Chains A and B, each alone.
Chain A
Amino acid sequence: MIKNGFIMNNETQTKVGPPLWLLAELTYDCPLHCPYCSNPTELGDTKDELNTEQWLDVLTQARAMGAVQLGFSGGEPLLRKDLEEMVKHSRELGFYTNLITSGIGLTEKRIAKLKVAGLDHIQISFQGADPEMNDIIAGRGNAFEQKFKMAQSVKAQGYPMVLNFVISKQNISQVEDIMRLSCQLNADYVELATAQYYGWAYDNRDHLLPSQQQLIDAEKIVNEFRDKQQGKGPQFIFVTPDYFEDRPKACMNGWGSTFLTIAPDGSALPCHSAKMLPLKFPNVKDKSISDIWQQDFSFNRFRGDSWMPQPCQSCDEKEKDFGGCRCQAFMMTGDMDKTDPVCSKSPDHHLIQQAIERAKHPKSPLLERVNKRSIKDADIVQIKL
C-alpha cells in the first residue's frame, strides 16, 4: 500500500528523476489469508526468491540512484531470516527503512534486534477492531491478540508506528471502534484504507466494495472523531475507493516516476500490481537497476503523455492524474492503453457503475488468499462471512 502524501519533485519527463521509493517485496509467503490481498493470485515459488546477496546488491544500487524511502514488504517480510541483515545494510546506506508487516512472527526480541539493526519504522496491519472480526478476515486464530501485543511492544521500544486497516464491506461498520483501538495503541498514523481492487481483492471485489452510503456514513464518523481529538492522538488518513470518484487516482505518481517495486523473484516493476500487464518486465538478475529505470522499454512505456488515448490526450487534467491506473484499465477493459474507467469521461466508465451494482449482491463465493502451490490436498478454501 502506498499512501501518506509522499512529497515529490516535479521532474519533467525529459529527465527521469530517481526512484525515490523502493518497495522490496521479500517474499509472497504469508501466514495470513486476507481476501483483500493485492498480491498476484499466482504467488510463485519461494525457491525463485532473490537470495541475501542479491537483495543487498539491489539495495546498494537503488540507493546510489537516489532512492531514499525503502519498504520491506511481501507477503510477510518477517519470514525472511535475513531481514535484520538487510535492514542494517539499508540503514548504513542512508535509507529510511519501513517494515510493513502483519505482526505475525514478531516477538519483543525481534523488534529489539531490528531496532539495533537500524529499522526506522514499523507498520502493522489489522483486519478489524476485535478478535472476532480480525481473525475471520485474516483466516488465522489469535492473530488479533498477537498484533495487539506487538503493537504495544513496537511503541514501548520507541518506534514510530503506523497502523493499517484495510476497510471493506466486512469491517466498515467498525470504523469508530477501529479509531478507538488506534488511540489505545498510541499509533502515530493510522490508515483507514478502503481496499484497492487488485490481485485477490479484484476477484473478491463483490464481497469487499462498500456501498456509497456505507462510505458516506464511515467518513462522517471519521470526521466527527477527528474533531473530538483536538490535534491529539493518532493522525487518521481515510482513503476512499476510487470507484466512487469522478477522476482517477494519480497512480504511483505517474508510471516510472517515483516508485520501483522489486518482486520476490527479482522482477522490477513500476508498481506492485504491474506484473499482470502484457509487458515483459526486466529482472534484477539480468540488468542493473539503473538500466532498468532509465532505459527499459517497460518503464518508458507509459512515461510522458504520447501513449495516451482520448479523452486523456486532450484533457487539461492529464498532468494531474496521468490517465489513472494502467492495471485498472487492463483488468476492466482488457486494454492497458485505455483511460482508467474510473474517469467519468472514459467511454468505459459504465464498467465501474456495473461493478458497484454487482457488489450489492455478490454471487460468487469469497476466496481466501492461499498459495496454490503450497497446498496439496485441499482446493481453494472458501469461507462464508
Chain B
Amino acid sequence: MINQSVPPSLNAMFRLQWEQAQECYVLLFPEGMVKLNGGAGEIMQLVDGKNKISDIINTLNKKFPDAGDLTDDVHEFLIAAYDKKWLYYE
C-alpha cells in the first residue's frame, strides 16, 4: 500500500541507525537487523512522520540530480517497506 496524503512513519518496533562498521543504514528490531542498501537508507532516513511521499521524492531528486527522476524507485521501495511493516500511514 502507498498513501500520498499522509506522511509515512517508522514503526515503533524498528530503530533506524547508521552503522559505521558496516557503512550502511540498518533497521534494528528485537534480536534482528536488516541492512539497507544506499537507496533504501536514503529513503528511510526521510520517513519521520512529517515528510509526505512527495517531499521525500523532491528531497532525493535534489540530492541526487544525476540519478534521473526517482519517483518510481521511491514508490516501489515504500510499497515493499509497508508490506514488511517497517512503516505505517496514520
Give Cα distance in the complex from A9 to B28, angstroms: 15
Residues of B within 8 A of A123 (CB): 30-31
Inter-chain contacts of A9 with B (CB < 8 A) = 22, 35
Q: Which residues of B contact A68 (CB under 8 A)?
A: 19, 21, 26, 28, 33
Say whether B35 contacts A69, CB under 8 Å: no
Task: Tell me, yes or no, whether A88 is within 8 Å of chain B by CB.
Answer: no
Complex contact A7–B35 (CB within 8 A): yes
Q: Which residues of B contact A94 (CB under 8 A)?
A: 17
Total B residues in contact with A, Cβ cutoff 8 Å: 17
Alpha-carbon gap, A98 to B34, bound state (A): 16
- The answer to whether A160 and B32 touch (CB under 8 A), given A18-B21, A96-B15, A188-B13, is no
Contacts of A160 on B, CB cut-off 8 Å?
A: 12-13, 29-30
Q: Which B residues are CB-close (under 8 A) to A5?
A: 32
- Per-position 1/0 for A59-82, Cβ under 8 A of B: 000000110110100000000000
Determine which of A65, A158, A162 lies in contact with B31 in the assembled complex, contact meaning CB atoms within 8 Å.
Answer: A162
Given A66-B21, A96-B15, check contact A120 B28 (CB 8 Å). yes
Interface of B is mostly: strand
Q: A96-B15, A120-B15 are in contact. Are A7 and B31 (CB under 8 A)?
A: no
Asked whether B30 lies within 8 Å of A7 as measured between CB atoms, the reply is no
Within 8 A of A (CB), among B34-55: 34-35
Residue of A nearest to B30 (CB): A121
Residues of B within 8 A of A121 (CB): 29-31
Residues in B whose Cβ lies below 8 Å from that of A188: 13, 30
- A384 close to chain B: CB less than 8 A: no
List the A side residues contacting B26 at CB < 8 Å: 68
Report Cα–Cα, A4/B32, bound state, in Å. Answer: 6
* A residues in contact with B13, CB < 8 Å: 160, 188
Q: Which of B12, B20, B21, B26 gathers the greatest number of chain A CB atoms within 10 Å?
A: B21
Q: Mark A149-180, 1 if CB is under 8 A from B, else 0.
A: 00000000010101000000000000000000
**Which chain A residues lie closer than 8 Å to B12 at the CB level?**
158, 160
A98 lies within 8 A of B22 (CB): no
A69 touches B21 (CB 8 A): no
Q: Is the CB of A69 within 8 A of B15?
A: no
Contacts of B32 in A (CB 8 A): 4-7, 69
8 Å CB contact of A20 from B17, B29, B33: B33
Q: What is the chain B residue whose CB lies nearest that of A122?
A: B30
Q: Is A189 an interface residue (CB 8 A)?
A: yes
Contact A189 B30 (CB under 8 A): yes
How far apart sit A160 and B22, CA to CA, in the bound complex (Å)?
25
- Apart from the given pairs A96-B33, A121-B29, A123-B30, 18 other A-B contacts in the complex at a CB distance below 8 Å: A2-B31, A4-B31, A6-B33, A20-B33, A65-B21, A66-B22, A68-B33, A69-B28, A69-B33, A98-B30, A98-B31, A120-B15, A120-B28, A121-B30, A123-B31, A160-B29, A188-B13, A188-B30
